[in-house]
Amino acid sequence: MSYPTNLRIVKVPCTGRVAAIHLLRAIEKGADGVFIAGCMEGDCHYQEGNLRAKKRVTYIRGLLESIGVDRERVAMYNLSAGMGPRFAEIAQEMTDKIRQLGPLVKSTNAGKEVVA
């Protein structure tokens, strides 16, 4: 099992900890795409952290679109801690998508991604 090396993982205790600003900051600091890998819906140890994260992702996607940035640069995935191969699959899928979209700002390092 392997996943793209351009991925930078930011660990959080629960995806409910990921605020809207964290997604934007990642992009602002040079990531060309960000995805949140949360627990399966209904399986959140903190009841609804992943559902809150989902709402924030939806909000940020809308905000990005309104300022001329492709909404696909931010995404939410749900998988359990035991689904390693699925994580690798998602990481590859997101990387491919971002590569297709190209770098957000031409002068910065292309292909960087952040996952929370």
Q: Interface with other proteins by CB under 8 A: which residues? A: 19-21, 24-25, 27-28, 63-64, 66-69, 104-106
Q: How far is the CB of 111 from other proteins (least distance, A)?
A: 16
Residue 53 to residue 38: CA distance in whole angstroms = 8
Half-sphere exposure of 18 (CA within 13 A, CB side): 34
- Closest distance to other proteins from the beta carbon of 48 (Å): 12
- Distance of closest approach, residue 72 Cβ to other proteins, in angstroms: 15
Say if CB 61 and CB 71 are below 8 A apart. Answer: yes
* Residue (5 or 107) nearer to other proteins, CB: 107
